[in-house]
Amino acid sequence: MSMVVIVNDQEHTLPEPLSVSALLVRLGLDKQPCAVEVNRKLVPKLRHPLHDLVEGDKVEVVTLVGGG
Amino acid sequence: MSTIEAKSELPGTRANPPQAVGTLVLGGKSFDSRLIVGTGKYKSYDLMREALAASGARVVTVAVRRERLVNDRGESLLQFLDLTRYVILPNTAGCFTADDAVRVARLGRELLTQLQNPGATWVKLEVLGDKKTLLPDPAGTLEATRQLVADGFQVLAYSSDDPIAAVRLKEAGATSVMPAGSPIGSGQGILNRNNIVLCLELLKHGDPTYPVIVDAGVGCASDVSLAMELGADGVLLNTAIAHAMHPVMMAEAMKNATLAGRQSYIAGRIPKRLYASASSPWDGAISYIPGE
């Protein structure tokens, strides 16, 4: 059962419901430090395996970049 | 009028002995540099790393952005930052509402917690009012400060140089207020030194060790020295180093200017006078002296 989620403003069709952890693996973002919001609410790393995404979720995946 | 008083009783002067010249106490931590530098706008991460080292800074700012985990060379910022040397201060740059700034601050805390960096509970709070000037929105900054302090953050609040706005941020629980010398990245230096002096006086009234950091607008080393000579506890800058013709040399100049300005402040400058005061004695002069 596929579903669509929005990751960083882009639609992603997932072949099956996934946890945040599984999404990061799918996106190749699981090896570096990153922080995740779902529907504007922070999901701490410890909860990534426990937080299951649902259809239409808006996900932000962020990291640290150079800034002043 | 025979004299021009350039420096009245600034906070932290004789009545309130200042901290040691090189020590910045901020958020319960002590640093051997009073300079805080940004990590943005460098031509390469290698150049950034070298400039950070030359600056002597122990606190460096970073931004939180969507997954740009690697640049086009396959590099990421974190590969070039020694997390054992620097306290990483995440900013909320690019936020125009208190709600967005709070979200970004929480994301920054999450990242730095993962990295086990002591900057995890710190945030350089920016709530901007306008994309062209990047001037702070005082109402949004105040609201975000309240929310973040309640959430356990140590808030280093970027502010305008309005002394009353600065005091309100302190009252809201900001760990440090950071008045701007001039707009971010403008290189205009300190446009209103009297406002910076008033910020210092009001923020340190009855609380001489309250840290005040001049943030934004620095163009060159003398701007840093001036901020320190006015009595600021530190200076935060980015573009002036990153976009200098020789960033590493400029970083070293900023380091020296910070120290020189602090030493000059503590040593105590002479009052400005309208008339000259000869350094060589008149007695024994063999020359013709007009009027005598």
Distance (Å) from the C-alpha of residue B114 to the closest C-alpha of chain A?
7
Residue B248: C-alpha distances to residues B42, B205, B255, B262 (Å): 11, 37, 11, 22
DSSP state for residue B18 in the 8-state scheme = P
Domain around B201: 3-273
Distance (Å) from the C-alpha of residue A61 to the closest C-alpha of chain B?
6
In a domain, B236, yes or no: yes
Q: What is the tally of structural domains in chain B?
A: 1
Domain around A18: 3-62
Rounded to 5 degrees, what angle do the CA atoms B82, B84, B85 make? Answer: 70
Which residues in chain B have their CB less than 8 angstroms from residue A51's CB?
Answer: none
What is the SS3 assignment for B52? helix
Q: What is the CATH number of the domain that holds B203?
A: 3.20.20.70
> Given this model, what pLDDT does residue B292 score?
83
In a domain, B24, yes or no: yes
Q: Using beta carbons and an 8 Å cutoff, which residues of A are at the interface with B?
A: 8, 27, 29, 32-35, 37, 40, 42, 44-45, 60-68
Facing residue for B67 by CB, picked from A29, A44, A66: A29
In a domain, A29, yes or no: yes
In a domain, A22, yes or no: yes
Does A63 contact B62 at a Cβ distance shorter than 8 Å? no
Q: What is the tally of structural domains in chain A?
A: 1
Check CB contact of B122 with chain A, cutoff 8 Å. Answer: no
Cα–Cα distance, B149 to B123 (Å, whole number)? 10
In a domain, A14, yes or no: yes
Residue A20: which residues within 8 A CB-CB, separation 6 or more?
A36, A38, A43, A47, A48, A49, A51, A53, A59
CB–CB of B181/B190 below 8 Å? yes
In a domain, B19, yes or no: yes
Comparing B271 with A32, the larger pLDDT belongs to: B271
Does B64 contact A61 at a Cβ distance shorter than 8 Å? no
In a domain, A24, yes or no: yes
B28-51 pLDDT, tens digit per residue, is 999 999 999 999 999 999 999 999
In a domain, A48, yes or no: yes
Which residues in chain A have their CB less than 8 angstroms from residue B107's CB?
Answer: 35, 37, 42, 60, 62
In the numeric block, the tokens 């004299």 are attached to B3
In a domain, A36, yes or no: yes
- Rounded mean pLDDT of B116-136? 95
B154-208 pLDDT, tens digit per residue, is 999 999 999 999 999 999 999 999 999 999 999 999 999 999 999 999 999 999 9
CB–CB of B82/B70 below 8 Å? no
Decide the pairing of beta strands B234-237 and B272-273. Answer: unpaired
In a domain, B285, yes or no: no
How many residues appear in chain B? 292
Facing residue for B38 by CB, picked from A27, A42, A67: A67
- pLDDT surpasses 80 at B93: yes
Residue B243: C-alpha distances to residues B69, B232, B251 (Å): 23, 24, 11
In a domain, B290, yes or no: no
Which residues in chain B have their CB less than 8 angstroms from residue A66's CB?
Answer: 38-42, 45, 48, 62-63, 77
Report ipTM for this prediction.
0.94
Facing residue for B103 by CB, picked from A34, A37, A66: A37
Q: Average pLDDT, whole number, for chain B?
A: 91
A2-56 pLDDT, tens digit per residue, is 899 999 999 999 999 999 999 999 998 888 899 999 999 999 999 999 999 999 9
Cα–Cα distance, B142 to B157 (Å, whole number)? 9
Cα–Cα distance, B161 to B267 (Å, whole number)? 25
Backbone region of residue B278 per phi and psi (left: phi > 0; alpha: psi in -120 to 50; beta: other values): beta
Q: How many beta carbons lie within 10 A of that of residue B116, not counting itself?
A: 9
**What is the enclosing helix (H) or strand (E) of B264?**
helix B247-267
Cα–Cα distance, B175 to B122 (Å, whole number)? 9
- pLDDT surpasses 60 at B276: yes
Q: What is the CATH number of the domain that holds A56?
A: 3.10.20.30
